A and B are shown apart, each in its own frame.
Chain A
Amino acid sequence: METNQTKNAPTNVVGKPLDRVDGPAKVTGAARYSAEISVPGTVYGVLKTSTIAKGRITSIDTSRAAKEPGIITILTHENLPKPAKTPQQVEKWRAAQSYLPMQDAQVQYAGQPVALVVADTLERATQAAALINVTYQAEAPIDSFHDPKAELFDPQKIQQGKKDSHVVRGNPQQAFDGAAIRHEATYVHAINHHSPMEPAATLAVWEGADKLTVYESSQNVTMHQGALADLLGMPREQIRVVTKYIGGGFGCKGSFWPHTILTVLAAKAVNRPVKLALTRQQMFTGVGHREDQEQTLKMGTTADGKLVSLVHTKRATTSPWDNYTESNGKILDMLYACPNYSTTYELARANVMTSVWMRAPGEAPGSFALESSLDDVANQLGLDPLEIRLRNYADYDHSNGKPWSSKSLKQCYARGAELFGWDKRQAKPGQNRRGRLLVGHGMATASYPVHSSQGTARVRLFADGHAVVEAGATDLGTGTYTVMTQVSADALGLAPEKIRFELGDTRLPTAPGSGGSVAAGTVASSIMAAAEDVWDKVVKMAVADKKSPLYKAKPADVKVELGRMFLTKDPQKGETLVAALVRSGQPDIEGSGTGKYGAGYEEKNFGQNGADPNNDSKEKKTGGHSMHSFGAHFCEVEVDPDLGTVRITRWVGVHGAGTVLNLKTATSQMIGGAIYGIGAALMEETHRDASFARYTNADLAGYHIPVNADIPEIKVEFVPESDPYINYLGVKGIGELGMVGVAAAVGNAIFNATGRRLRHLPITPDKVLEALRQPA
């Protein structure tokens, strides 16, 4: 039996534009999100949050609030049950923010929880929270790295110690100094908030003194379970975290935040299920954000536009405790063929909560700097933006010297240019008018790495021809329910209607959460591994069964494809898994397996070096592959020279992302990625007041995200791409890819329209008008 498949398996349902299997529940309102689970006896929790960003609570007067009808308890730092450990006491804390509020009288950021009211109705809890009178001794807060009180420091390590704060390859400064073309610019990225439509919510149900169920809006139930176990000092198996539906996350629900444990502690205190949903305003100070940041990029090229050096520095704001910052440098290191590179991160502590990964963390802002500078150099040298990218095309990953596992970027460029009509672009900026409006065309490259991961799944095939497949993954709207149904259907040779795929529960086999674009590749591989286990068992049954066409065959000579077992040498001879199972008289058969995504899969199937022993090319010598998806965005804008408004009028995105599991959901995700990027490019910005370090526009009226009228038709295509090294099915994640490069494509189009380079996101009308007042 062939288990180490080196070719991507044949497919039948996989890839098809199947309607979402969870779609009917979503369009009828039957899908229940975390705050909508109905548990008898549930009472309501409401947070009261601090109005100052730094200082001490001197008193909390709850007397008026307590007199309100229906109040069950009011918890403050004085009476909140203590967790077994605070995050700072946990040895390897798994979340971004290591600070837990309401442990003492300290206030470290505005909007930090200071009290939690539990009442019989939401209205009463809300009212009582408003009546609590908190007196503070306020100190002057630090609002950002721009604050004169702020001190920039070298964090040494960023992202919970996972990455170095200074990376050098070659001799970048010297190469820059000697370069024929030297370009230096600074790029600013505003504070962004994920703002999923579903506010974060926790419903905590203590089923006994040491048994807890939490319905959480979680991108990663295993992470939430582990963090709760750490804080409560309970064994993981005593804690169940459930997320059947989640209303978007974009990263913010993939980390652990204070409201979850506070709700759990409150439920313990009142001995009843407590449900707490953050208000929209609290979503701006409750679940992290993309940090305010500034990048300086020195780009050196030859006279014909070939990169010789990239010297990158990033300055950003971080919280009083953690050194989180997006690693913008990664994409600068690998996207093009550049021999010299460095990046340096500097952080400053301010009175803000810890920022956290937000869709395409690092790649999104990093590519804005890289792709804008490259566009400038192209313009300076009179090169087409596409041409300069082809001149710098990386045939292998220059950051580590490894060959690509697959790369279809040239096809993406070509197909995108064709779909967009790039050849009709006016090269000289500011020349293209449509009536009063300036028209511009820009493009940028997209790329996102394959983050290695692994997970487990369970497959139970029933003799009546249906199957239940389980993995503790989540579906953020990414289509996990649907695509895994398709993968399972092909693995077992069944119609998708015959598959029930279950996710979102820590009782299911452990799978990675949705984040870093790892879910699709990992869970698909896990299901295939579990299916292989079932195949093995059924093949063994068949070869021992006189009635089977495979009777007496060696299991090693039997292959399974699309639910059918057959002799590798004589494919006519065979039967379906279900047929063999029916004859066996067994009602069902179960298998489980662990699947890998990325480097682990490659190692398992191609050996330590990841090199295919049957392949004589340089791959064998180099060993191992660099794994990325790639794509290209093309954008048309209209700029109003009198009002400074920018409208996107056309968008084309073409991507190479391995096997596409479902063309419909994948296309939607790429469209969503582009629009998410357009938001960051043109409108998204949370303003933190410099004196008080409080957000001044913390709601959906003040924090502008794209609305329907902002968005034109968006064309998305995938180029065919097969990648044997990353996982069984050759799947690459696409959650982030669609957003990378978007802001640059917009900025490049604005440059083409106006001759003005805008390096400060979001590119709002005031900035455009100001730029237009300056000479081109």
Chain B
Amino acid sequence: MTEPITPDTPAGGPGKPANDGSRRTFMKQAGGILGLALAPPFLSQAERLTALSRKVEGVSALSLKVNGTVRTIQAEPRVTLLDALREYLDLTGSKKGCDHGQCGACTVLVDGRRVNSCLTLAVMTQGKEITTIEGLAKGEELHPMQAAFLKHDGFQCGYCTPGQIMSGVACVQEGHAGSEAEVREWMSGNLCRCSAYPNITAAILEAAKSS
């Protein structure tokens, strides 16, 4: 396996190359048993040992740049980005539907790319730009994707919606909103049990046109 399954892997399309520096930073911070358990096979033996040698146990300060503002929380290295947002920063717009990368409700942008924040450890996103649903609108003015979801009724219960919208924003940026079929395909990682799919697709196509 050459391509590690980490949030550095683009969720699809032309993303930036994975940032090895930040991954090492994380390894050093997380360290210990956790580091070993998580150390993916692409790391060299030396790197694994380095990871083991620096160990941070228990709660430590994490600085996350969310929606342009750096905020510091006291949390264990095992805290996911999703839980950091929801439970530590009270940014509950990002939703937990499965906690296992199966539903997309937790989708946020990290350095502009969509990731499942439930599969991302908060420590790994230090120094990166995190954008959540709360950071999309400019004051009272909705982001065009939000406005299109509202207009096309791209939701019912609204629980999958922040994830759909973040994913939709990335889908357009990736250049994957060229046709109805393309949108459907590239939005299929975001489940909607209310089944607003046709309306979601219409909303994204419209927002893509206007962008």
Q: How far is the CB of B137 from chain A (nearest CB, A)?
A: 6
Q: Which of A27, A31, A198 has the most CB of B within 10 A?
A: A27
Q: Are B158 and A707 in contact (CB under 8 A)?
A: no
In the bound complex, residues from chain B placing their C-beta under 8 Å from that of A246 are 157
> Which of B83, B96, B191 has the largest number of chain A CB atoms within 10 A?
B96
Please judge, given known A-B contacts A476-B157, A699-B100, whether A19 and B150 are in contact too, CB under 8 Å. yes
Tell me, rounded to whole Å, the shortest Cβ–Cβ distance linking B85 to chain A.
10
Q: How far is the CA of A634 from the CA of B90 in the complex (A)?
A: 46
Write the B82-107 contact mask toward A (1 if CB under 8 angstroms, else 0). 01001100111111111110110100
State A33–B94 Cα separation when bound (angstroms): 11
- Indicate the member of B91, B103, B136 with the most A CB atoms within 10 Å: B103
For the complex, give the distance between the alpha carbons of A598 and B199 in Å.
32
Residues 534-561 (chain A) with a chain B CB within 8 angstroms? none
Tell me the bound Cα distance from A705 to B98 in angstroms: 13
Which A residue's beta carbon lies closest to that of B145? A27
- 26 A–B contacts, CB within 8 A, in A order: A19-B153, A23-B149, A23-B153, A27-B147, A28-B146, A36-B92, A197-B95, A197-B103, A197-B105, A197-B160, A197-B192, A197-B194, A199-B97, A245-B158, A250-B193, A280-B98, A477-B157, A668-B194, A669-B156, A672-B156, A675-B195, A675-B197, A676-B195, A708-B190, A708-B197, A709-B187
Pair B134/A279 contact, Cβ less than 8 Å: no
Known: A196-B157, A477-B158. A29 touches B150 (CB 8 A): no
The yes or no answer to B132 lying at the interface (CB within 8 A) is yes
Task: Please state if A280 and B97 are interface contacts (CB–CB under 8 Å).
Answer: yes
Given A197-B105, A672-B195, A709-B187, 19 more pairs with CB closer than 8 A: A22-B158, A24-B150, A27-B133, A27-B146, A29-B91, A29-B92, A29-B93, A29-B134, A33-B95, A197-B103, A198-B95, A198-B159, A247-B157, A248-B159, A280-B102, A476-B156, A476-B157, A676-B195, A708-B187
A38 to B137, CA, bound (A): 23
B98 partner, pick from A245, A247, A699, A706, beta carbons under 8 A = A699
Q: A670-712 CB contact bits vs B (8 Å, 1 = yes)?
A: 0110111000000000000000000000011100011111110
Whether the Cβ atoms of B150 and A23 lie closer than 8 Å is: yes
- 0/1 string, A11-24, CB within 8 A of B gives 1: 00000000110111
Is B195's CB under 8 angstroms from A671's CB?
A: yes
Enumerate chain B residues within 8 angstroms of A26, measured Cβ to Cβ: 155, 158, 161
Query: Are A700 and B103 touching (Cβ within 8 A)?
Result: yes
CA distance A38 to B90 in the complex (A): 8
Q: In whole angstroms, what is the CA distance A123 to B187 when docked?
A: 30
For the complex, give the distance between the alpha carbons of A197 and B156 in Å. 11
Known A-B contacts A26-B158, A27-B142, A708-B184; A19 and B151 likewise in contact (beta carbons under 8 Å): yes
Report B-chain residues with C-beta under 8 Å of the C-beta of A701. 100, 102
Does any Cβ of A come within 8 Å of B47's Cβ? no
In the complex, the answer to whether B194 meets A248 with C-beta atoms within 8 Å is yes
Q: Is B162's beta carbon under 8 Å from chain A? A: yes
The CB with the most chain B CB atoms within 10 A, among A25, A122, A246, A705, is that of: A122
Instruction: Give the complex CA separation of A612 and B92 in angstroms.
Output: 53
Contact B151 A33 (CB under 8 A): no
State which residues 703-756 of A face B: CB under 8 Å. Answer: 705-711, 713-714
- Chain A 471-510, CB-CB to B under 8 Å as 1, else 0, gives 0000011110000000000000000000000000000000
- Cβ-closest chain B residue relative to A703: B102
Q: Within the assembled complex, what's the spacing in Å between the Cα atoms of A123 and B197?
A: 33
Cβ of B58 within 8 Å of any chain A Cβ, yes or no, is yes
Q: Tell me whether B78 and A714 are in contact (CB under 8 A).
A: no
- Kindly list the 10 A-B residue pairs having the minimum CB-CB distance in the complex, ordered from nearest: A29-B93, A247-B159, A477-B157, A477-B156, A26-B158, A675-B195, A29-B133, A36-B92, A700-B102, A707-B188
> Which chain B residues have a beta carbon within 8 Å of chain A's beta carbons?
58, 75-76, 78-79, 83, 86-87, 90-100, 102-103, 105, 132-134, 136-137, 142, 146-147, 149-151, 153, 155-162, 165, 183-185, 187-201
Nearest residue, chain A, Cβ from B159:
A247
From B90, B134, B146, name the one whose CB has the most chain A CB atoms within 10 angstroms.
Answer: B146
Asked if A247 and B184 sit within 8 Å, CB to CB, the answer is no
Is A30 an interface residue when CB atoms closer than 8 A count as contact? yes
B contact residues around A476 at 8 Å (CB): 156-157
Which residues from B are CB-within-8-Å of A711?
A: 184, 195, 197-198
Complexed CA–CA distance, A714 and B199 (Å): 10
The distance in angstroms between the C-alpha atoms of A534 and B147, with both chains bound, is 36
Bound-state Cα–Cα, A129 to B94, Å: 25
How many interface residues does A have (CB within 8 Å)? 60
A202 interface residue per 8 A CB criterion = no
A137 at the interface (CB under 8 A from B): no
Tell whether A121 is near chain B: CB-to-CB under 8 Å: yes
Does A650 interact with chain B (Cβ within 8 Å)?
no
A222 at interface by CB-CB < 8 Å: no
From known contacts A38-B90, A123-B83, A246-B157, infer whether A27 and B150 are also in contact, taking CB-CB under 8 Å.
yes
Chain A residue contacts of B97, Cβ below 8 A: 197-199, 280, 700
In Å, the complex CA distance between A674 and B193 comes to: 12
Closest Cβ of chain A to B184, distance in Å, is 4
A277's nearest neighbour on chain B, judged by CB, is: B96
Given A123-B79, A197-B191, verify A700-B155 contact (CB < 8 Å): no
Whether the pair B156, A479 counts as a contact (CB closer than 8 A) is yes
Contact digits for A134-173, partner B, Cβ 8 Å, 1 yes 0 no: 0000000000000000000000000000000000000000
Contacts A29-B134, A477-B156, A699-B100 given; does A196 touch B188 at CB 8 Å: no
- What residues on B are CB-neighbors of A31 within 8 Å? 158
B94–A198 touching, CB < 8 Å: no
B187 with A247: CB separation less than 8 A: no
- Complex Cα distance, B133 from A545, in Å, reads 53
Q: Which chain A residues border B147 with CB–CB below 8 Å?
A: 27
**Most interface-central of A24, A197, A246, A280 (chain B CB within 10 A):** A197
Closest to A651 in B: B198
Q: Are A279 and B197 in contact (CB under 8 A)?
A: no
For the complex, give the distance between the alpha carbons of A250 and B185 in Å. 26
- A5-60 interface with B by 8 A CB criterion: 19-20, 22-33, 35-36, 38
Q: Is the CB of A122 within 8 A of B87?
A: yes
Q: Contact at A20–B153, with CB atoms within 8 Å?
A: yes
Nearest-CB distance from A131 to chain B (Å)? 14
Contact (Cβ within 8 A) A668 B197: no
Q: Which residue of B lies closest to A671 (CB)?
A: B198
Does the CB pair A706–B162 fall under 8 Å? Answer: no
With A30-B93, A198-B97, A707-B188 given, is the CB distance from A671 to B158 under 8 Å? no
The CA-CA distance from A710 to B161 in the complex, in Å, is 19
Residue in A245, A667, A675, A710 whose Cβ sees the most chain B Cβ within 10 Å: A675
Taking CB as reference atom, which chain B residue is nearest A700? B102
Q: Does A195 contact B (CB under 8 A)?
A: yes
List the B side residues contacting A669 at CB < 8 Å. Answer: 156
Q: Which of B105, B183, B193 has the most CB of A within 10 A?
A: B193
Chain A residue numbers with a CB within 8 Å of B160 are 197, 247
Complex interface: chain A residues within 8 A of B98 (CB): 280, 699-700
> A665 contacts the other chain (Cβ, under 8 Å)?
yes
Q: How far is the CB of A654 from chain B (nearest CB, A)?
A: 16
Separation of A35 and B90 alpha carbons in the complex (Å): 11
Q: Is A77 an interface residue (CB 8 A)?
A: no
Please name all residues of chain B whose beta carbon is closer than 8 Å to the beta carbon of A121 when the two chains form the complex: 75-76, 79, 87
Given contacts A121-B76, A675-B197, contact A29 B100 (CB under 8 A): no
- A284 CB, nearest partner CB in chain B, Å: 11
Beyond A28-B146, A197-B157, whether A709 also contacts B58 by CB under 8 A is no
Give complex CA distance A498, B86 in Å: 33
Give A469 to B80 CA distance when docked, in angstroms. Answer: 41
- Bound form: Cα–Cα A121–B158 in Å: 26
In the assembled complex, which residues on chain B have CB atoms less than 8 Å from the CB atom of A479?
156
Contact at B134–A248, with CB atoms within 8 Å?
no
Q: Nearest chain B CB to A702's CB is how many angstroms away?
A: 9
Query: Which of A69, A199, A700 contacts B191 (CB under 8 A)?
Result: A700
A330 at the interface (CB under 8 A from B): no
Asked whether A247 lies within 8 Å of B158 as measured between CB atoms, the reply is yes
Closest A residue to B180 by CB, please name it.
Answer: A713
